[in-house]
Amino acid sequence: MSLRICILETDNLRPELVEQYQGYGRMFELLFARQPIAAELTVYNVVQGDYPPVDEQFDAYLVTGSKADSFGTDPWIQTLKVYLLELYQRGEKLLGICFGHQLLALLLGGRTERAVQGWVWVFITINWHPPDRG
């Protein structure tokens, strides 16, 4: 049985990366393909207003990174906040990467702001062990 993950894409790649990766969703597909976890990923570009159908079920939702600010007022960010809050209230599993985790923190009562030193890039390894589904 594979894990069904909804990728909520929150930005477009830099032009020089589009030919190789198409988008952030494709980058995550390539990343998951190298892992010992069977995963079926479905990508939705929320910047363009693309969201899963109401009856679509996923095991988890992943919110990608973005150049946008989590505290921004762009209409697509406001729509995404409402959507994520609904998912949270339903008890869905949510994971945010960079912008995504900042947005989730904001929704749950945290505070986000620009880092005084600018953008920071950090790579870490996380070993994840799925719970028994027996």
- Is position 121 within any domain? no
**Enclosing domain of residue 13:** 3-107
pLDDT of 131 higher than 80: no
**Between residues 77 and 115, which one has the greater pLDDT?**
77
Domain of 87, CATH number, reads 3.40.50.880
pTM for the model stands at 0.84
Tell me if 124 is assigned to some domain: no
120 within some domain: no
- The span from the CA of 112 to the CA of 89, in Å, is 21
Q: Which residues contact 18 (CB under 8 A, 6 or more apart)?
A: 12
DSSP string, 9-75: E-S---HHHHHHHSSHHHHHHHHHHTSSS-EEEEEEEGGGT----TT---SEEEE---SS-TT---H
pLDDT band at 118 (very low <50, low <70, confident <90, very high): confident
- Locate 129 and state its tokens: 């062990």
Determine, yes or no, domain membership for 73.
yes
State which H helix or E strand residue 78 sits in: helix 75-89
Q: How confident is the model at residue 132 (pLDDT cuts 50, 70, 90)?
A: low
Residue 113 counted as domain residue = no
Tell me whether residue 114 is in a domain.
no
Q: What is the mean pLDDT of the chain?
A: 90
pLDDT in tens, 48-101: 999 999 899 999 999 999 999 999 999 999 999 999 999 999 999 999 999 999
**For position 133, what pLDDT does the model report?**
55
Instruction: State whether residue 76 is helix, strand or coil.
Output: helix
Q: What pLDDT score does 66 carry?
A: 93
User: 124 or 103, which is more confident?
Assistant: 103
Q: What's the domain count of the chain?
A: 1
